[in-house]
Chains A and B, each alone.
Chain A
Amino acid sequence: MLGAARSAVSVTDLCHSFGPLGAGGMACPVPTFCRPGRCYDRRLRRAPEITLAAVFVVWMVLAAPILSTQLGRSAEAWETFSGLSAEERDLRADPVAVQVARDVAAGVPEDGCVTVLAYVGADAAEYYRGRLAYLLYPRRVRLFPRSRARTEGCGHLAVFRDTAGNLRGSPFQGRWDQGELDAWLETLEQVHRGELAQVYRLEDGEAE
């Protein structure tokens, strides 16, 4: 059977053995293989494997620089965070929000509520609102980027000012009257003085 196969293709193979144009400079017949309804160029029989290999190589060439960059980022992250406890990693990655959360948590019980007056930019306010809600759960957290806010039903008040670097990136756009705030805070009992946030106890139902 193999002999029959050889003899079946030997004419075109012989022709091609003289070069691309065949013997005497005449074009060789295109070697084809036919199945009902369609003929295929036999020279393309390795085309799927070659195409896949080419795509694979291009794919890897495109992926390599990105992975190389990531390798550097991974090494940097490992150097920064390895050997630290989970709490220390949180603080290193997000120092302001985590420190404020720790300051507030020290003064507000888990079933408590805290209104946070934050001297922060508009975008940052959204960030801190979500971040503190996560870090301080199950405490109820309300955050306002201004020096006055309604505090009904909330037992604690916290005040903090974002870092100068963060404020440069996201400038404060709210209303902040430090004199008025200081006057108000003097009437409240301070329950915790943290590194970044001060926590005060409010009389229940106190407004502004």
Chain B
Amino acid sequence: MIYLGLLLTCVAGWLLLPRDYEWGLAAKLSFAFAAGAAAISIEMFVLDLTGVDWGRVTVFLPWIVLAGWRGYRNGAALLDPVWPWRVRMPGLISLLLVAVVLIPVLVWMPFERATPLTSWDAWAIWMLKAKAFYVDGTMSGYLARHEEFVGQPGYPLLVPLYAAFLYVIEGDVADGAAKVISPCFLLALLGVFHHFVRRWTPPVPALAFTAMLAGIPMVDHLGFELAGYAGTALSLYFVAAAGFVYEWYREGGVVNLAGACLAATAAAWTKNEGQFFLAAVLVLVAFQLFRVRTERPALNWCWLAIPGLVLGPWALVRGSHGIEAAGFTPLVDFEGGLFGIALRRLLSMGFDTQLYNLTFLLLLASIVGALVLRARLLFWILPGLAIWQIAGALLAYATGRNEIQWWLGTSAGRILAQIAPLALMAPVLVYGEWAERSAATKSAEAEPVKRTDSAPKGRKRKGRR
């Protein structure tokens, strides 16, 4: 039944996705899972706040209504692009690269499926909440008893409430089965990452970068060995939000704007680090809304209110139980010594190829490459967001109340693993820009008449608002 729950998650997410947006089957399924998991967790939250019991009927009913409405509105077009004859078969090199993408998944999956829930944060924080919510039939039982537990009761609820939904479908606390959500988030991460990099590079390089992402040891470790943690889900929403923000700056479009705000909200609804990320995304969105005249400005500004609608009630619920959000207060208790220790540790870990392969080295190389290529200003959004997240982690370490070496030892690897997929987006952009300019060189050599053609293709898209 857990697998049925995962399927229903994809269906629910599919119903939420806009029809007139360009995405392939794998990308749409990935976005559907990401959207479905976030939406279902919010639905569970709202049901609990309104006093409605979590039963199969009550949880399914809104989705059945939505499915009926969308089916009536869109008919068979709702299934785009599922129809098999519309799925284009990739070439041989692409097929090989797809296989390379799947190798780490196939290597890790038996390990994840065989082992029970054994990792500390999984049962001390995320899955404990899920179990408590399901067993109590409400969030308030656990929240009222939060002082009994060693976990972090103030952490956001996407993963616990989504796992509780799976327990509702299963009718039992099947934690060993439910931790499969982490590999599912990882697969969705690969799909979403590929969706964006495919927009910035040709098909083969896009798959190559996706295969590289799939081969980052700590990303796999977080997704499979630490299944039941929220880190992989956070990575997914980071990548989705960053991709949408970049696309919105580049091309405009309400889908990109909405996607950025919703994905960043989902990140903040997943982990506290996501709230730091959300702040950056909101600043970027607000800046662009101020800067550029749009068709429906009031409606566009409304998207900025979405985070408040989700995180506001959670802050109120948390506050009513006297629960603090996290074990640190940024900027208040800052200690330079701790900052230095954390910085050295993160740098030494980040450039360890056994942990992150060449991810952070490529991030640095992409920054140099962007300077050499004189990349457009909007390029800096992606490396900026990755560096912003690293800075946020350093700030947390420098203001935390935990013993720093212990804290770094138990969390730094995961923190960087959460950021690694986001960090890999900047190298893709630089590669895309470089390849595009080289292609322009080649095509101009073949057609000398066009040698004076100035800007590469991508630049012409600016201002399609």
Query: What is A's interface to B at a CB cutoff of 8 Å?
Result: 1-2, 4-5, 8-9, 33-36, 40, 42, 44-49, 51-52, 55-56, 58-60, 62-63, 66-67, 70-71, 73-75, 77-78, 80-82, 86, 89-90, 92-94, 126-127, 129-131, 133-134, 137-138, 140-141
Q: Does B320 contact A (CB under 8 A)?
A: no
Pair A56/B438 contact, Cβ less than 8 Å: no
State the CA gap A46–B100 with chains docked (Å): 23
The residue among A42, A46, A55, A126 with the most chain B CB atoms within 10 A of its own CB is A55
Residue from A51, A63, A89, A137 in contact with B115 in the complex, judged by beta carbons closer than 8 Å: A89
A208 to chain B, nearest CB (A): 21
Query: What is B's interface to A at a CB cutoff of 8 Å?
Result: 100, 103-104, 107-111, 114-118, 120, 123-124, 127-128, 131-132, 135-136, 141, 145, 148-151, 174, 176-177, 205, 208, 211-212, 215-217, 220, 353-354, 357-358, 362, 431, 434-435, 437-438, 440-442, 444-449, 451-454
Pair A73/B145 contact, Cβ less than 8 Å: no
State the CA gap A48–B208 with chains docked (Å): 13
Pair B145/A140 contact, Cβ less than 8 Å: yes
Residues of B within 8 A of A55 (CB): 212, 358, 362
B142 to chain A, nearest CB (A): 8
State the CA gap A51–B434 with chains docked (Å): 11
Pair A62/B353 contact, Cβ less than 8 Å: yes
State the CA gap A52–B353 with chains docked (Å): 17
Residue from B118, B212, B435 in contact with A59 in the complex, judged by beta carbons closer than 8 Å: B212
Residues of A within 8 A of B114 (CB): 74, 77-78, 80-82, 89
Residues of A within 8 A of B104 (CB): 63, 67
State the CA gap A44–B373 with chains docked (Å): 14
Pair B431/A52 contact, Cβ less than 8 Å: yes
Pair B434/A86 contact, Cβ less than 8 Å: no
Pair A86/B123 contact, Cβ less than 8 Å: no
Also in contact, A8 and B448, with CB within 8 A (given A45-B442, A67-B107, A137-B131): yes
Pair B132/A56 contact, Cβ less than 8 Å: no
State the CA gap A49–B201 with chains docked (Å): 11
Residue from A5, A46, A127 in contact with B448 in the complex, judged by beta carbons closer than 8 Å: A5
Other contacts beyond A90-B117, A131-B123, A134-B131: 11, CB < 8 A: A35-B453, A52-B208, A62-B358, A70-B111, A70-B220, A74-B107, A77-B110, A78-B110, A80-B114, A133-B150, A140-B148
The residue among A9, A35, A78, A137 with the most chain B CB atoms within 10 A of its own CB is A137
Pair B438/A48 contact, Cβ less than 8 Å: yes
Pair B108/A70 contact, Cβ less than 8 Å: yes
Q: Nearest 6 A-B pairs (CB), nearest first? A: A63-B215, A74-B111, A48-B435, A81-B114, A89-B116, A134-B123
Residues of B within 8 A of A62 (CB): 353-354, 357-358
Also in contact, A36 and B454, with CB within 8 A (given A9-B445, A49-B435, A70-B107): yes
Pair A56/B212 contact, Cβ less than 8 Å: yes
> What residue in chain B is nearest A53 (Cβ atoms)?
B208
Question: 21 interchain pairs (CB within 8 A)?
Answer: A1-B447, A8-B448, A35-B452, A42-B441, A59-B358, A60-B215, A62-B357, A63-B215, A78-B110, A81-B114, A82-B114, A89-B176, A90-B117, A94-B118, A126-B150, A130-B123, A130-B149, A133-B148, A133-B150, A134-B128, A138-B136
